[in-house]
Amino acid sequence: MTTFAYIRTSTSEQNSALQRDAIAAAGIPEKYIYADAGVSSSLASRPRLDALLDRLDDGDEVVVWKLDRLGRNTRNVLELIDTIKSKGATFRSVTEGISTAGPMGEAMLTIMTAFAQLEPTTPHYRRLLLARDAVRALRTDSATLVLPAATRPIAVGRPTTGLRDLARLLVALGELAPGTRIDTVRYAAPVAEAVRRVKRRTDPRATAALDAATIALLHDALARRERDIALAIERWRWLPREHAGMPLVVNIPEYRLERWAEWAGDTLPGGLAMNVVVGRADSNATPVFASRMTQVVFSPQWRLPMSIMKKEILPAARGNPGYLRKHAYYLVTARGDELPITDANIARIGTGVWVRQRSGGANALGRVKFNMYNPYDIYLHDTPSKRFFARARRDLSHGCVRLADPVALAKHVLADAPQWTDERIAEAMDGGKETFVALRRSVPVLLVYHTFVVEPDGVHRRVDDIYGHDERTLAALRGERTVPAAVVDEGAP
């Protein structure tokens, strides 16, 4: 039996010394210690670990300082431990006191396996873990970074030192794609362009000039980036792990609808994607939930919710009955019987009299809506107000989700119903008669709130936290009480 040790060193001398001291205390000779440089969630670049695994024999033992020396992705760690066990060897962590030997060790591994199986397995989630590890490693080693000595401003094109580590910092921030070729002698593109992007998030008129304040800003950005990634990882853990079909995903702060494959980071051709309008941040925030789309309604009527009837329609129509006719509104009883538009009936709006809007071009729901189960009476729908989709900020609705391309969505969800040809869909949308179509198979729908994205090339993208959910979520993770977000008007477009 031979006891081997494995360590992953970093540029932090203190960290590396702690590992070697712990291994030495375990009485393991230097010739049995295998060391790789750097810490990786994916366990990439591990030639010495591979050499150790090749050498293992029945009855041997592998010792590490901490579990994260094997990688920071629990699933990968467990796979590696299984490889060690398959060789007839045992595994032990000095710091955590975990060993695969004995019933307690097996129980601990069973618990770890259960937790690992709860983690998402999507490409985007894995990219988030890699981004988190890169940021953590760089923050741990930040004191050893050799950045440009910006005692005086360094203009673009000027020679300077420290450009390799500056690029490394920008890669960890997601401003440069990994492997980007840079000029290591002069401060130039693409490094300078990445620095300018970081600076312009706080000062739209900032230049790419590099000075002491810029270096401090980059270090602050690294701390914020770790927070952004932690929030994104947490939110991914809230999502369902399995779906009966390809979900549609509305990322609320990004004002975007996509199929799950594209949103989750897979690369499948022919993806469905479009801009959307969501609920107003100051009054009617669109809620986060998972549901199933069950029905398409062509030429829909709008059954106004109580809040809008009382707050908007009643004041506008009182003393002006023509307002209702102009906007194709009509009055009904609780049973749906139409009532004449009179001052007396207008006065009873919200107390026994309800307001509906007829199908047609003026209807706030447009020519089609998509119903799904949820307690908020939220749905996806067309809109006659197409100009809003060109805006950068699109939190303009009462809570429901307006679609830039409702025809494409109708074709997508009715693709398994051959009788619903493109021509028939167009006729139903323009027919002026409310038509309900039940889907053969319900379609999963996720309304999510993700403010941070890691693209397939490793570049990070952050979108505005329009509802202020980030701080509330961070506070909740810290165990603090939070203030709820704005309430949605149920059934409002």
DSSP string of 328-382?
Answer: TEEEE-TT--EE---HHHHHTBTTTBEEEE-SSTT-TTTTEEEEE--TT---EE-
- Of 10, 93, 291, 359, the catalytic one is 10
- Dihedrals φ, ψ of 383, to 5°? -155, 145
Could you tell me if 381 and 493 are in contact, meaning their C-beta atoms sit under 8 angstroms apart?
Answer: yes
Could you tell me if 158 and 143 are in contact, meaning their C-beta atoms sit under 8 angstroms apart?
Answer: no
Cis preceding-peptide flag for 190 (omega within 30 of 0): yes
User: Collapsing DSSP states into helix, strand and coil, what is residue 53?
Assistant: helix
Strands 395-397 and 273-279 turn out to be parallel
Question: Tokens representing 342?
Answer: 């009179």
Strands 354-357 and 302-303 turn out to be antiparallel
Strands 435-448 and 248-251 turn out to be parallel
> Which residue in the block uniquely carries the two structure tokens 């309008």?
277
Taking the CB of residue 415, how many other CB atoms lie within 10 A of it?
10
Closest CA to 330 of 298, 304, 368: 304
| Rounded CA separation 90/193 (Å) | 50
* Residue 10 is among the residues annotated as catalytic for this protein: yes
Closest CA to 275 of 150, 406, 379: 406
- Write out the catalytic residue numbers: 10
